[in-house]
Amino acid sequence: MNASPADQRTLLEIADLDARITQADSARRTPPQAARVKELVAQRQSVSQELVTRLAARDDLQAELKRIESDVSVVEARRARDTEMLKTVSSPKDAAGLEHELASLAKRQDDLETSELAVMERLDEANAAVAEQEALAASTNEEGARLSAEAKKHVSDATTLHEQLTRDRAAVAARIAPQLLAQYDRIAARGPGAGLLRARTCGGCHMMLSGTDLQTVRAAAEDEVVTCPECGCILVRTDESGL
């Protein structure tokens, strides 16, 4: 087919716009933050599960500590009661029984307090572990929120750019012959639609034309639409072509 050299050169504008439209479309579909946000979603689930586990462990220790404290209170109350009874008892046998019980209670209280200290140490460690996991959860959520906001802005900007480029493309396309545009679109559906022939090299596939192919291009009329023998894109000829 034939088309004016001016229309053929305009195809380079359309090809450039098409490339930028493709880039903008890719940017709005897959923002650069998407992969990390996906990682953070999985990480947040893992962090949350671990936090639940650590909270449960801390709750168990708190319950154990309360039980021991309750037992200590009971023992202290019994020791106080037996001590008062020992002051008033008159029977040596009863006194011996109370003294034996007081010794047992003292041993029991000592054991309980030792256990209480051990549980308190474990509880301190559990509180530190919970605080550490809560900090990690907060950090994960903060990063996720920040990246999500950045991704939304990136998508919004890319969408705006895509829409503007699409309008620009329509305006440029309206300046050339419909038949030429149709041929360009058919070729562009499978690869570069048009490329500048510069220094005997196709701008679409970047392959240098062979001597025979160059002869064919040289022989073509100025308004004849010629294509690259390698990639099939429309070769736009200018003073830079080296023909």
User: The domain that contains 107 carries what CATH number?
Assistant: 1.10.287.1700
Q: Is residue 194 part of a domain?
A: yes
Q: And the tokens for 145?
A: 């929120």
- Closest alpha carbon to 18 in 180, 229, 162, 148: 162
Residue 165 lies in a domain: no
> 15: domain range?
5-26+174-237
Instruction: Count Cα atoms within 13 angstroms, Cβ side, for 69.
Output: 8
Is position 162 within any domain?
no
pLDDT at 138 over 90: yes
User: Is the residue at 164 inside a domain?
Assistant: no
Confidence category of residue 239, pLDDT binned at 50, 70, 90? confident
- Domain membership flag for residue 158: no
Asked whether residue 243 carries a pLDDT value surpassing 80, the answer given is no
Specify whether the CB–CB gap between 194 and 11 falls below 8 A: yes
Mean pLDDT of 178-182: 95
Question: 107 with 187, same domain?
Answer: no
